[in-house]
Homo-oligomer: A and B are copies of this chain.
Amino acid sequence: MLNLTLVLGGAASGKSSHAEMLVRESGRSRVYLATAQAFDTEMKQKIEEHRLARGDGWTTVEEPLEIAPALASVDAEKIILLDCATLWLGNYQLAGNDPAEAPEVFAEALGHARAPVVVVSNEVGQGIVPADAMSRAFRNAQGRLNQRVAAMADRVVFVTAGLPQVLK
C-alpha cells in the first residue's frame, strides 16, 4: 500500500478521475476530503459535476483550510482522496496567510494522516508570467508545494488529456 500519491495535471486534464480510480483500486473504505468552497454558481456546478462523476461509496469531509485534523480523523485502514491542494492553497492565501509558507504547512498537515492519501494538485506554472503580484506569489507557492509533496510521495503521476505518466 502506497502511503502518499500525488496526482498532478492541468485544468480539466482528468486528474481527479484518475485519482478516484487509484483510490477505488485500493479496495479500502473511501474518504473524500474536499477543499472546494461553493462561493458562486460556477463553483457549485463544478462541485456537483465532480460529485456525480465520483459516484457513490464515498464519505465526504468538507474542509477548506484546516486539513491536519481532518486527515488525522480518518481511520488508518481507510483511504483519503484530498481534492485538491490548489483550492486549499487559494483558501490559504485568501485567508490572509503568506503563500510562501504554504508548502511547509501543507506538508506538515499530510504528516498527520494515518490512512494512505492521494493528493490531487494543479500544474499552474507553464503559462505566461501573470501580470499581478498575487497570482505570481500563488503560482510560485503552488510550484513549491508540488515539489515538496512530490519529494515526500511514493508515487507521482502527471495526467494529460486523461492519460497518466508516472514521474516517480
Tell me the A residues contacting B by CB distance below 8 Å.
Answer: 6, 8-14, 42, 122-130, 133, 135-136, 138-144, 146-147, 149-151, 156, 158, 160-163, 165, 167-168
Select which of B12, B130, B163 is within 8 A of A140 by beta carbon.
B12
CB distance from A62 to the nearest CB of B (A): 21
Main secondary structure of the interface of A (DSSP, over half): mixed
Given the known inter-chain contacts A128-B130, A128-B139, A135-B128, please indicate yes or no for A123 contacting B12, CB distance below 8 A.
Answer: no
Complex partner residue of A158 from B135, B141, B160, B168, CB under 8 angstroms? B160
Task: For A165, give its contact among B146, B162, B167 (CB under 8 Å).
Answer: B167
Q: A161 contacts B135, CB within 8 Å?
A: no
Tell me the complex Cα distance, A65–B24, Å. 40
- B contact residues around A163 at 8 Å (CB): 150, 156, 167-168
**Given contact pairs A10-B124, A10-B126, A124-B127, a sample of 10 additional A-B residue pairs in the complex whose CB atoms are under 8 Å apart:** A9-B125, A11-B125, A12-B125, A13-B147, A14-B143, A125-B127, A143-B161, A150-B162, A151-B162, A156-B163
Residue of B nearest to A140 (CB): B12
Query: In the complex the two chains form, is A12's CB within 8 Å of B128's CB?
Result: no
Q: Which residues of B contact A147 (CB under 8 A)?
A: 12-14, 161-162
Chain B CB within 10 Å, residue with most, of A156, A160, A161, A162: A161
